[in-house]
Amino acid sequence: MTPPPPQPADSSSPRSVQAPGTTIERVKTVLRRDLKLGPDVTIADDMPLAGGDFDLDSLDMLLLLTSIEKEFGVRITDGSVGREVFASVATLGAFIESMQPRS
31-69 pLDDT tens trace: 999 988 888 899 999 999 877 777 788 888 889 989 999
Question: pTM for the whole thing?
Answer: 0.73
The rounded mean pLDDT for the chain is: 79
Residue 23 — pLDDT band, cuts 50, 70, 90?
Answer: very high
Separation CA 47–CA 87 (nearest Å): 8
Task: Give the closest residue to 92 by CA, choosing from 29, 6, 27, 8.
Answer: 27
Residue 100 — pLDDT band, cuts 50, 70, 90?
Answer: confident
Residue 17 — pLDDT band, cuts 50, 70, 90?
Answer: very low
CA distance to 18, 59, 62, 93, per residue, from 3 (Å) = 23, 14, 17, 20
Quote the pLDDT of residue 20. Answer: 53
